[in-house]
Amino acid sequence: MDNIIFIGMPAVGKSTVGVIVAKRLGYRFIDTDILIQEEEGKLLKDIIREKGIDGFLEVEDRINARVHTKRTVISPGGSVIYCENAMKHYKEIGKIVYLQASFETINRRLNNAKSRGVVLRDGQSIKALYDERVALFEKYADVTVCEDGLKLEDTIQKVLEQLGAE
């Protein structure tokens, strides 16, 4: 298992779970939203505002597709599943773990989607976004871990078990 890539909706805990899994396995950790912000010199919400959603997705695809690393847990933004080059690259360099949670769980956790830099089209609801993305998460996932009703530690344990690391 070279790299572990977490996918899932915003607020599912990709970075939180990712950091702890990386620590437990002795891996590095990369949050690609931070890479995007560093490279662009702007917050995600500002990139989306200035370049539009399609422009942002081009940036996200380019930066994610050139992440070359070993023994690393990678946490891309939830919209990475729209980025074909990035997802093809991630399938080649690691195991993709879908952190799955019900819409109710996501909706409860997700306060202000726009301020988080969530890629929402004009007039699109969080429910519509959720429904649209679930099929893509399932398409790309090598492993799915449902975290509904689980505490953080239980989610981490389940991820490690699914990966055969515990």
Q: What is the Cα gyration radius of the chain?
A: 15
**52-80, pLDDT tens digit by residue?**
999 999 999 999 999 999 999 999 988 99
Helix (H, G, I), strand (E, B) or coil at 146: strand
pLDDT category, 165, cuts 50, 70, 90? confident
pLDDT at site 111:
66
The predicted model scores a pTM of: 0.91
pLDDT at 113: 54
**What is the tens place of the pLDDT at every residue in 70-113?**
999 999 988 999 999 999 999 999 999 999 999 988 888 776 55
Query: 44-65 and 84-93 helices cross at what angle (nearest 10)?
Result: 50
CA distance 111 to 36: 22
**pLDDT (tens digit per residue) in 113-162:** 555 556 677 787 889 989 999 999 999 999 999 998 899 999 999 999 99
Q: What domains appear along the chain, each with residue ranges and CATH number?
A: 3-156 (3.40.50.300)
Q: What is the pLDDT of residue 91?
A: 96
Q: How does DSSP assign 26-56, residue by residue?
A: T-EEEEHHHHHHHHHTS-HHHHHHHHHHHHH
pLDDT class of 1 with cuts at 50, 70, 90: low
